[in-house]
Structure 1
Amino acid sequence: MKFIDEAKIEVVAGRGGNGAASFRREKFVPKGGPDGGDGGRGGSVWAVADENINTLVEYRFVKRYQAKNGEKGHGSDRYGRGADDIELRMPVGTLIRDVDTEQVVADLTHHGQKVCLAKGGKGGLGNIHFKSSVNRAPKQATPGEDGEARSLLLELKVLADVGLLGMPNAGKSTLISSVSAARPKVADYPFTTLHPNLGVVRSDDNHSFVMADIPGLIEGAAEGAGLGHRFLKHLSRTGLLLHVVDLAPFDEGVEPAAEALAIIEELRRYDEALHDKPRWLVLNKIDMLVDDERAERVAQFLADIGWDHPQPDDQFEFDLTTPRVFQISALAREGTQELVQTIQRYLDAKHELLAKQQAEQPVMAEVPTTNGLIQPE
């Protein structure tokens, strides 16, 4: 299935049915009075997050979704039937914006989340609502209300704990295939990854996390060069970035340090918030270096990019703030388990910190006021 992460659609809710203006007409009841019923409610359009869907391809071909109108009211106090709602199932991680106002309508972040995109119109009132002691035979009834109509932009941002970034052919696809069950295309030429891939990495029997691989970046990606710029948005939801660097490039004259600095600059130019996310260095393809040369090549690379962060000591408490460096061979699976276990410890420590911060927040007590309303204490 083709991966589609953006789509533009139009949703139109149903119109409410008109109220009826009728009078009771039965034998031996000459003055039965008004008996016009209300119109039915128009159908609404809802978005539902579904974890079994991973692309917006369906919304590339069907652009308009319109709910049915409510049924009009009838005599004999019969109300019109309300129209059925429409449910649009979308991938978890879909961000929905109003095209005209650019406001966020919904952010589908968990399975089963349901959000109304366009509300159906109310049905009109029948003339039974207008009778009174001075108006025994009202002939007025109200029309049904129009349903809401919106043009919406659907934008899918994959949800992952860890995101991989780097130049084409840095070994990101090989890494995600070696630590998870994901099987992206792997080849010895650049831009083999054409869309994001997700893999579930199981660190032990009871713990796992999701890793996302996006197409490789090149210099000028923030302005649209290459493929990766279209998918940088998917990294905005990740909690940790792994910057994968090819430490033994096949082409002569390629400087890994220059490429790494170019990637960091592209992140900064694309989004400062993305640039400021926790980012670890993963030096890949060390199996292609001679053992005697390996330490020297790593030290020279770190010096060229201005890396001055010592490797943290996690003997007593896991350090969440200091960036880290890992030397691995994704193809030979050398150093990958150490990377996986450290990532799991990082995610566990982060979750514990968030839970502690939430527990320390004061609870707003509710007390009744003199007017009967509930207000925070």
Structure 2
Amino acid sequence: MSQGSNFVDYVKICCRSGHGGAGSSHLHRDILTSKGGPDGGDGGRGGHVILKGNAQLWTMLHLKYRKHVIAGDGDSGASSLRSGKTGRDEILEVPLGTTVKNAETGEILFDITQDGETKILTPGGRGGLGNWHFKTATQQTPRFAQPGEEGKEEWNVLELKILADVGLVGFPNAGKSTLLSVVSAAKPEIADYAFTTIVPNLGIVAYRGSKSFVMADIPGIIEGASQGKGLGFRFLRHIERNSVLLFMVPADTTRTINEEYQILLHELKEYNPELIHKPRVLAVTKSDMLDDELQEEMKKELPTDIPSIFISSVAQKNIDQLKDLLWKEINR
């Protein structure tokens, strides 16, 4: 199975909630009573379509081929004030970080961010009231009851935005996957060509003692990503939910470190201006090829408004210091 085939971060589904059951218009009859009062029960409510957060899920693959989700209808009310049975709810489990939108209007309805959190996506129709509700002093035996409310049918879009403490931001081949493979047990695909990473990878980074934080390797940005070039929008969406952004620029870049950093920052700002208010750290990667003198020269070119560090994942250079820096920013 290829790396991308089991990572699904976008699905469009048609949700149909159940109809409410009709109320009963029954009049009480038994051996002793030939003309009793109203005793029709209420109809049961139609089933809801419900979303539930599940921390064990990281993809929406299980929903990819499920285009229609249909909840059960409520049963009608019965005699002796018996209420109808509630329709069967359909519960869809989704990864944390799922945003739900109305497919027609694009309106964001809600986010699921907690494990076990449930939200009603499409509510079922209410059950109709039985005839005993309509009894009055002047109308002792109402022979009518309410019909149940219709269910709803609507198309919704579920989008996943990865939830992580640290998001790695950089052009293709900046060393993001290599860093993730060194600091965590994640096994991302790594090669010497651009766009090896085509889906976000998550890794848990162990930190001093029993502490840990989650790092996400977001696929590489290209210039123009904010206009949707390459797979721009799809990648940038995942950066929105990260607490700290780790910008990664390789020491052998053809531009200056600062130029490349400014281009990355510009793409984020164009996509969503709020992203530039997140805490940021700059790591100059592949710095095992620099001698001390060259590194000191390059330090003078670095942006001054962001903590920075020279690292090499392959040579394990300054990796612990990088973790310290990130931990400080996450908890700031």
Fold in common (TM above 0.5)? yes
Name the larger-Rg structure: 1
Q: Which range is displaced more, 85-94 or 123-132?
A: 123-132
Name 1:336's counterpart in structure 2: 319
Q: What is the rounded CA distance, in whole Å, between the counterparts of 1:62 and 1:274 in structure 2? A: 33
2:279–2:329 contact (8 Å) kept in structure 1? no
Q: What is the rounded CA distance, in whole Å, between the counterparts of 2:42 and 2:62 in structure 1? A: 37
1:248–1:289 contact (8 Å) kept in structure 2? no
1:245–1:256 contact (8 Å) kept in structure 2? no
Name 2:212's counterpart in structure 1: 208
Q: What is the rounded CA distance, in whole Å, between the counterparts of 1:97 and 1:115 in structure 2? A: 13
**Secondary structure, in 3 states, of the residue corresponding to 1:346?**
helix
Q: Which amino acid aligns with 1:286?
A: S
Name 1:326's counterpart in structure 2: 309
Shift of 1:204: 1.3
Is 1:110–2:114 an aligned residue pair?
A: yes
Q: What is the rounded CA distance, in whole Å, between the counterparts of 2:270 and 2:11 in structure 1? A: 25
Q: 1:28 to 1:207 in 2, by over 3 A?
A: closer
Shift of 1:178: 0.8
Name 2:57's counterpart in structure 1: 53
Structure 1 residues without counterparts, runs of 5 or longer = 310-321, 351-377
**Aligned residue among 223, 237, 244 for 2:241:** 237
Shift of 1:299: 3.6
Q: What is the rounded CA distance, in whole Å, between the counterparts of 2:158 and 2:177 in structure 1? A: 27
Q: What is the rounded CA distance, in whole Å, between the counterparts of 1:225 and 1:143 in structure 2? A: 53
- Superposition pairs of residues 1-377 of structure 1, within 5 angstroms: 2-249=6-253, 254-257=254-257, 258-296=259-297, 298-299=298-299, 301-302=301-302, 307=303, 309=304, 323-348=306-331, 350=332
Q: What is the rounded CA distance, in whole Å, between the counterparts of 1:162 and 1:7 in structure 2? A: 25
Structure 2 residues without counterparts, runs of 5 or longer = none
Q: What is the rounded CA distance, in whole Å, between the counterparts of 1:76 and 1:345 in structure 2? A: 66
1:171–1:244 contact (8 Å) kept in structure 2? yes
Q: Which amino acid aligns with 2:307?
A: R
Q: Which range is displaced more, 155-164 or 219-228?
A: 219-228
**Secondary structure, in 3 states, of the residue corresponding to 1:189?**
coil
Q: What is the rounded CA distance, in whole Å, between the counterparts of 1:191 and 1:37 in structure 2? A: 63
Paired residues, number: 327
Task: Give the root-mean-square deviation of aligned CA atoms.
Answer: 1.9
Q: Which amino acid aligns with 1:64?
A: H
Q: What is the rounded CA distance, in whole Å, between the counterparts of 1:231 and 1:173 in structure 2? A: 15
Shift of 1:162: 0.9
2:37–2:140 contact (8 Å) kept in structure 1? yes
Shift of 1:191: 0.7
1:246–1:256 contact (8 Å) kept in structure 2? no
Name 1:361's counterpart in structure 2: none
Higher relative contact order (CA 8 A, sep 6+): 2
